[in-house]
Amino acid sequence: MNLTKKTSIFIFTSILAVFLTACQEKQEQKEIKKEVKKVKVDVHTLKKQTYPIWVNFSGKTQAYKNVAITSRVTGELEKRFFEAGEFVKKEQLLFKIDDTKYKNIVEQREATLQKDKASLNLAIANVKRYSPLVKKGLAPQEKLDQLIAEQKQLQAVVNADIAALKQAKLDVEYTQIKATIDGVIGKPLVDIGNMINASSTELAKVVQSNPLYTNFNPSTDEVSLIKKYKSEEKPKVEVIQSQNEYNTVKTTGHVDFIDNVTNETTGTVAMRAIINNDENLLLPGTFVEINLFITDKIPVIAVSPNNLGQNQLGAYVLVVNEENKIETRQLKLNYSNKDLVIISEGLQEGDKVIVSDITKLRNGMSVEATQVENPIKL
């Protein structure tokens, strides 16, 4: 009997030990499961700070000067003194027009001037000869008045001859057609031997592209933002022309013109920057990207565009609250570009914004947050 009782007690004790062990293992499994549910995320704690704020536009370059080469005189095109595409200097000889006719005119004007000067000298001598006679009463005053009038008429004729001769000499000079600016000259538009009409026949184009203009068209709201917050009277710009990673041209400049009216059709305002083009790598008519600097002096709440999500209500971010759980914050955006998004409503200083992948995160999830540096890198 005692043996049977001892056996029963042993069996009961064994079963109880197994049961307790099983319960302990289940409890440990539950605790492990609870620990597994905590997702690790990276967060950045927001604070108001200043950032260099740039706005981005697309634009098109324009020559600083674009001059059509024409002739001031009519005649046959005789010679050309440049090669298409070369750089020419102001006053460099480009074309020559046959000057035979104009040199003949100069000779005619010189002869006419000499003849009229001789007549003038005679008139002056007559006045000098008659003046003493009139004073002595030996000649009538009317005769002297007539001689003085003739002298003045001949003086006017001589003055006109001098002006005509000067113009004739200018016409001879104008047969040599010169560059009026420094720049790169294009191909000749008229072949040698053709007749050239004064001021109407375009012979070539000279383009000055250093510096270079860049035109772009911000919206009315963007122009208001620029005018309101700009730190510089003439905001600086960076201009980029990129075809691929191996062929990228970058240069700098500043805004030199903002139009005073809005285009009623597009709601945009014409704006222009003047940029450096020392190596002449950018050509007029090239499409470029323009980064315009506004300010770096205004503290703002901002997040990286990579940390934003989109839902039916608009833009949002995920934050970690005091209980280490995820919350969704709908945002009202003030301004955004490829580098940062400035927030006007929805976030405040001290909020811990999740900056790691948010695609699998949901409201109410418990997380283990790791503080990281500001993901906005400027």
Closest CA to 172 of 231, 105, 76, 88: 105
Which amino acid, one-letter code, is at 108? Q
Cis peptide before 211 (omega within 30 of 0): yes
- For residue 199, give every residue at least 6 positions away whose Cβ sits within 8 Å of its Cβ, in sequence order, or none: 70, 71, 72
Does the pLDDT of residue 251 top 70, yes or no?
yes
Domains observed in the chain: 56-62+208-296 (2.40.30.170), 99-174 (1.10.287), 301-371 (2.40.420.20)
Overall average pLDDT of the 296-323 stretch = 92
pLDDT score for 304: 93
| Buried/exposed code over 125-162 (b: 16+ C-beta within 10 A; e: otherwise) | ebbeebeeebeeeebeeeebeebbebbeebeebbeebe
% helix, strand, coil for the chain, step of 5: 30, 35, 30
Burial of 368 (0-12, 13-18, 19+ CB in 10 A): exposed
Give the separation between CA 223 and CA 272, rounded to whole angstroms.
12
Overall average pLDDT of the 305-334 stretch = 92
pLDDT score for 244: 67
Sign of CA dihedral 272, 277, 283, 289: negative
With contact defined as beta carbons under 8 Å apart, do 329 and 2 qualify?
no
pLDDT score for 337: 84
Give the separation between CA 321 and CA 309, rounded to whole angstroms.
18
Task: Name the pLDDT band for 127 (thresholds 50, 70, 90).
Answer: confident
Q: Which two tokens stand for residue 138?
A: 């030996």
Give the separation between CA 74 and CA 190, rounded to whole angstroms.
14
Q: How far is CA 13 from the centre of its chain?
A: 89
Overall average pLDDT of the 354-375 stretch = 90
**Angle of CA points 285, 257, 218, to nearest 5°:** 70
Give the separation between CA 264 and CA 268, rounded to whole angstroms.
8
Residue with tokens 């197994």: 18
pLDDT score for 338: 85
pLDDT score for 193: 94
Give the separation between CA 249 and CA 18, rounded to whole angstroms.
77
Does the pLDDT of residue 6 top 80, yes or no?
no
Helix (DSSP H) and strand (DSSP E) numbers for the chain: 4, 23
Which helix (H) or strand (E) segment holds residue 27: the answer is helix 2-36
Does the pLDDT of residue 293 top 90, yes or no?
yes
Instruction: Report in angstroms the alpha-carbon separations of 195 from 65, 179, 188, 201, 340.
Output: 27, 20, 14, 9, 62
pLDDT score for 225: 86
Across the chain, what does the average pLDDT equal?
Answer: 88
Sign of CA dihedral 129, 135, 136, 141: positive
Number of C-beta neighbours around residue 358 at 10 A: 19
With contact defined as beta carbons under 8 Å apart, do 317 and 303 qualify?
yes
Overall average pLDDT of the 85-109 stretch = 95
* Per-residue pLDDT reduced to its tens digit, 21-57: 555 555 555 554 445 568 899 999 999 999 999 999 9
